[in-house]
Structure 1
Amino acid sequence: MPAWLPRFVRPKLLKEQGIVGMNARNARYIAAWNARRFYPRVDDKLQTKQLALDAGLSVPDLYGVVRTHRQIRDVRRQLREYEDGFVIKPAHGAAGDGILVIEGWRGDRPRRAGGRAMELSELDDHISNVLSGMYSLGGRPDVAMIEQRVRFSSVFDAVAHRGVPDIRTVVYRGYPVMAMMRLPTQDSDGKANLHQGAVGTGIDLGSGRTIGGVRYNNPCREHPDSEQSIVGLQIPGWDELMELAAGCFELSQLGYLGVDVVIDADRGPLILELNARPGLAIQIANGEGLDHRILAVDAHMVARDIEPAAERARWSAEVFARPEATHPTEPDTETTRAAEPA
C-alpha cells in the first residue's frame, strides 16, 4: 500500500487521489485507446526497432537476427567481432525473460554480466531456446535479436547492480504523463524488472530528477545493495528523452503506451522497447495517481489539433512539474522507515 494512503482505503479516497486500478486501466485506457491491430508494433521488438529507425528515433544498434537453428554457428563466429559485448534477446519476450547480456570475451569464451565466462555451447543453447519459443508470449517460435550493449552513464554507478537502469514513461495520447527509473538489484540479477526485485524511482517530469522509489510495492528511498540515496538523481538528456517518448505515439499509434528508454554514456537516450499494457506501480513510485494527469491531457486536447512531439513533451514538462523536485533534500531515513508499511 502506498505510504501516502492508509492501509484500509475507501474507494472514494482512491478516486480523489487519482489512483488508477487494473480494471480502470484495461477498460478506460487500453481498450479505449489501443487498437489491437497496432499491438504487433510493440509486441514484436524487431518491428518496433525498424519503425523507430524509419522514424529517425534513436535505438541501440542491431547487429543481427537469428531466425533458424542452422544460422546459430554462423552468427556465433560473427559475434566474436564485438569485443565490447552484445545483447541477445527474444523478439517476442516479456518481463525481461530470455535477455542475455555479454560484456566481452575471456579468450574464446563470452563473458556474462557479472564476470562469469560461458562455454560456446551454452551460448548456442540459449539462442536455440529463444528460437524454440521458451521466452516468447504464448510459447510460439521466435527469432533472436543481437543488439549493441548499452554502456550506461556513470551517474548511475552507485544505484545500479550489475545491470543497465532504464526509464519507463507512460505516454497518453502522445503526451508523457508519468515516468520512473528502474534500477537493477542483486535480487533482480541485474535486470531492470520490478517483478524480480528492481527498484522503481519516480521522476519529476519538469526537471528529470528522481523523487522517491518503490520496491516490491513498498516505498523506499535507498538502493538496497549500495544503501545510496535514490532521491535527487538527475537523469542525463532529460529533454531529449521526453521528446523521444512523445514521438513513440506516432510510431505505435497507441494512445496508452509505456516507453522504455536507456541512457547510453555516448549516444544519450535510446528506445529499448514499447509496451501496450504498462503497469501501475509507477503511481507508487511517484506518490501520485495517474488519473488526474490523464484528465489534464484530455482537457488540453479539446478542440486542439495534434501537436508535434517536441511541443507535447514541453507541455507535459511544464504542467506536470513538481516544484519540490527542483531542490531535493536528503531523505530522513528514520522518517521514511516509519512511513513504510510493515
Structure 2
Amino acid sequence: MFGIRTWRALRRRGVMGINQRNGDYVLAYNDRRLYPLVDDKIRTKKLALDAGIQVPDMYGIIDTEQGISKLQHIVETHGDFVIKPAQGAGGDGIMVISDRFEGYYRGASGRMISPEELEFHISGIISGIYSLGGHRDRALIEYRVRSTDLFDRISIGGVPDVRIIVLKGYPVAAMLRLPTRQSDGKANLHQGAIGVGVDIATGVTLSGTWHNLKIDRHPDTAHPVAGVQIPDWEACLELAARCYELTGLGYLGVDLVMDKHKGPLMLELNARPGLNIQIANDDGLLRRCRIVEDHLDGLDWKLEPVARRLTLAKREFAVARLPEAPEAP
C-alpha cells in the first residue's frame, strides 16, 4: 500500500519514470534511423560544424591498430588533449591528458601515464570495449576544454558540463554536472559527479543531487552549489534548442561545456537522456513535457522560431524563488 501511495505522489509531482520515458518520449519522438547521428561523436561533431555550432577542436582520429603509431604526430603540437571513444557512453573510456613530463603524460588527476599505457588504452577503444553494443570503434583525439574560474570554486579535477533536455526544440529542464574526486574529474553522475538543478529562465543554479541524495554543498570543496550564475546562459539555451533541427530527434539531451577562452561548446548529444535531472531540479519532467505538448497541439506541430521557443521555456519553467549567490570562499 505504501508503494501505491508513493507512486501516486510521484505522479502528482509530474515525475517521469524510465518506462514512460522510453515509451512515450524516446520511442515516440526519436526515429531510430537518426540514432547514429548522436551515438557517434565524430558524426555529431561534423554535423554541428556544418551547422555553425561550436564544438571542441578535433585533432585526429585513430581507427586501426596500425594507426596508433600516428598518435605522436597528432599530438606533437598539443601539450594537453582528450582521448575518447567515438561511440562511448556515460564517460567510459575517456582519458584526459593535462600535461607532459619526461616522455610521460600527466592525467587530469595528476597520475603519470606511460606512452605504452596510452597506446594500450587506444587499442581498447578500437576493439570496442567502451562502445555501445561492444562494436569496433574509433578513438577521437580532441581539444581539452579549460574550465572557467567560476566553476573552479565548485568543482574538482575536471570540467563541469551543462545537460539540457530538449523536447521538439523547447528546453524543458537543465542541470549543471560537477566533477568530484570520486568521479575522477568526469562530469558523469553514475561515476560520482554532482547534478545541480538550473533555473531555465535565468541560468542560476539550485540545489544538487549526489548518488540520488539531495545536497547543498560540494563534498570536496564544501562550497555551496546553489546561487551560481552560469555564464552565457542565453547562448546555451539557443544552442540546445537548435540541436532539434540539427538531428531531427524530438527528445534529446544536449551536453554543453563552458570553455574559459571559447565560451559555450557543444560536447555531445544523447537520444536517451537520464532522469536524475528531476531530482536536481526537484520537479518532474513529465509535467514540463506536457506543457510543451499542450502548446504544440495548439500550433498543429508547427515549428516556431528559436526565440519564441526560448520565451515559452523561460516563462513556463522559471523558478519562483532563486537562491542567493554564495559568498566567495
Deviation at 1:164, TM superposition (A): 0.8
Match of 2:262 among 264, 267, 280: 267
1:314 aligns to 2:278 (yes or no): no
What CA deviation, in whole Å up to 9, does each residue of 1:24-78 have, x standing for no partner? Answer: 1111111110110011111111111111111111110111111111111122233
Matches within 5 A, 1:1-342: 9-83=5-79, 85-304=80-299, 305-325=302-322, 328=324
Deviation at 1:330, TM superposition (A): 6.0
Deviation at 1:313, TM superposition (A): 2.2
Check conservation: 1:246, 1:310, Cα contact below 8 A.
no
Deviation at 1:239, TM superposition (A): 0.3
Deviation at 1:308, TM superposition (A): 2.3
Q: Letter of the 1:319 partner, please give it.
A: E
Q: Give unpaired runs (5+ residues) of structure 2.
A: none
Structure-1 separation of matches of 2:264 and 2:87: 23
Structure-1 separation of matches of 2:35 and 2:247: 8
Structure-1 separation of matches of 2:200 and 2:3: 28
Structure-1 separation of matches of 2:325 and 2:232: 22
Deviation at 1:159, TM superposition (A): 1.4
Q: Letter of the 1:21 partner, please give it.
A: G
Check conservation: 2:60, 2:74, Cα contact below 8 A.
no
What CA deviation, in whole Å up to 9, does each residue of 1:271-293 have, x standing for no partner? Answer: 11111111111000000101121
Deviation at 1:310, TM superposition (A): 3.3
What CA deviation, in whole Å up to 9, does each residue of 1:125-146 have, x standing for no partner? Answer: 1111111111111211100001
Check conservation: 1:82, 1:104, Cα contact below 8 A.
no
Structure-1 separation of matches of 2:82 and 2:311: 33
Check conservation: 1:43, 1:92, Cα contact below 8 A.
yes
Structure-2 separation of matches of 1:184 and 1:144: 23
Deviation at 1:251, TM superposition (A): 1.2
What CA deviation, in whole Å up to 9, does each residue of 1:293-330 have, x standing for no partner? Answer: 111111221242211223322321222111312x5266
Check conservation: 1:136, 1:142, Cα contact below 8 A.
yes
Check conservation: 2:104, 2:113, Cα contact below 8 A.
yes
Cα distance change of structure 1 residues 7 and 157 upon mapping to structure 2, 3 Å threshold:
farther
Structure-2 separation of matches of 1:94 and 1:299: 32
Q: Give unpaired runs (5+ residues) of structure 1.
A: 1-5, 332-342
SS at match of 1:146: strand
Structure-1 separation of matches of 2:122 and 2:232: 34
SS at match of 1:164: coil
Structure-1 separation of matches of 2:203 and 2:175: 10
Check conservation: 2:109, 2:184, Cα contact below 8 A.
no
Structure-1 separation of matches of 2:282 and 2:161: 19
Structure-2 separation of matches of 1:54 and 1:65: 18
Structure-1 separation of matches of 2:242 and 2:286: 22
Deviation at 1:190, TM superposition (A): 0.9
Structure-2 separation of matches of 1:272 and 1:161: 19
Check conservation: 1:166, 1:260, Cα contact below 8 A.
yes
TM-score by length of 1: 0.91
SS at match of 1:323: coil
Cα distance change of structure 1 residues 74 and 96 upon mapping to structure 2, 3 Å threshold:
same
Check conservation: 2:177, 2:187, Cα contact below 8 A.
yes
Cα distance change of structure 1 residues 7 and 190 upon mapping to structure 2, 3 Å threshold:
farther
Total equivalences in the alignment: 324
Structure-1 separation of matches of 2:188 and 2:63: 26
Is 212-221 or 11-20 further displaced after alignment?
11-20
Deviation at 1:80, TM superposition (A): 2.0
